[in-house]
Structure 1
Amino acid sequence: MRLRRLLPVLGLLAWTGCAAAQETSPARDAAGPWELALDGSFRRCGVMLAAEPGPVGQALRFPAGCRRALPVVNGLGGWRQEGGLIQLLDREGQPVLAFASPDNDGIRSAESPSGERYSLAQGGLSAGARPAAPETPLITTAALSTLPTARDSSRDGLAIAPSTAAAVTGLYTLDRFVEKDVCRVMLKPASAQVQEGCRDPGLALFDPTAWHYEAGRLTLVARRGHSVELIPLGEGRWRRDPEIGTTFVLRRVEP
């Protein structure tokens, strides 16, 4: 008799547990690495939609370089999923970008309050596989002929920047403070490749496979999708932006 009385209670608990699992499973499905990109540009960044709670919604993480590459992330404080909608939230918990269900290519799209369109695709920061190459090449005809604006040229010494992306191609060596020529990377018109014999674990782990040049800044794109920006020093030298991370210098050398 006692067991018979407990059966309805156990059934209710089981139903409640299933309902809770159904409510939380979409968020668990969305949690993981994604790539956020500004449509019509080279600007993209790997972001992590974490499963644990954050200041608002669930925690959102991204590399420091994203703050310059995609300024929209500076105002983000978390994320949440409502049905098929993935929302990136400001620090007050209000949606800044709301990405609807993906299209046939698995890419979600959203429009910012300022009218810019962004795409969100699974993969990036911690994806084991290399992300698919974008349909638009990282170096376009427009990029090869685009000069920095006068405003850009006056900032960060961009007056010494190469005038075209074609002028950036070549073989570069990495200098680290006291150590010189610890690793070499070849920048080809459509790819980047670390050369054999690299003695710098940081660059080897970063493993750049692509690059682009825009508005006087050189961006190296890692195999897993995140990127590093460098500013020109003149005479074929590029320095990692000190506001973003550890300083290192790429110096152009003869093959």
Structure 2
Amino acid sequence: MIILRGFALIIAACVAAMSPARAQDATTLKKEMVGQWELSTTERSKTCVVTLKGDAAGHGLKLELEPACKTALPFTKDIVAWSVKGLDIVRLQDATGEAVIDFTEVEAGIFEGLRQGEGVYILQDLAAARSMAKSMDQMIGDWAMVRGNGQPICGLTLTNTEAGPDNFQVFLKPKCDPVIAQFNPTQWRLERGQIILMSKAGETWQFEADDNAQWRRVPDTADPLIMLRQ
């Protein structure tokens, strides 16, 4: 989807060149970005509050980083300003205007950026990020995995014990269905509204919340797996 969107924007840019519409897009994004944002690793194990402002500052616009940023995310020590590049790139930049990290919007209000050799970072509205943190706290504890007919086939516990970058430990209870036991998840994370279970072999299962406050494995099947909070 991101590739298609980017391709469409390139075509539009070629047609419109430096048209007022393109300028308006950048101007609108600048206005929308003014405010408080959370810069974090993908699962918020390390976070930093960034306040983007609309005032000019050297090669870009002013921003403020909370004091804890440099400890949580060392690369932020080089960030002194921000700007919008092209149609939809939000740049956090150094004193010369060069990118420290570039972000593009991957979902409404959620921006994603990559630093080579380090990984992916997320920039999202501070209030929304804190709401997500509360949601993650609600995930911790005991769960039952059941079939679509309600038959329990496994118990598991999601913990907040770190098990690597942005992941946390998960433990299976005894007497699990062979399918679950063979998968044998050891880590989990909450990512973009999904519970992700991961095995030692690197296999992943994704679960999404449905309208009945259940978490169903996706893609859905005729005999679905469902996670229920205990």
* TM bracket, shorter-chain basis: 0.3 to 0.5
Identify the structure with bigger relative contact order (alpha carbons < 8 Å, sequence gap 6+). 1
- When normalised by structure 2's length, the TM-score is 0.46
Structure having the higher Rg: 1
Which structure's residues are more often strand, by fraction? 2
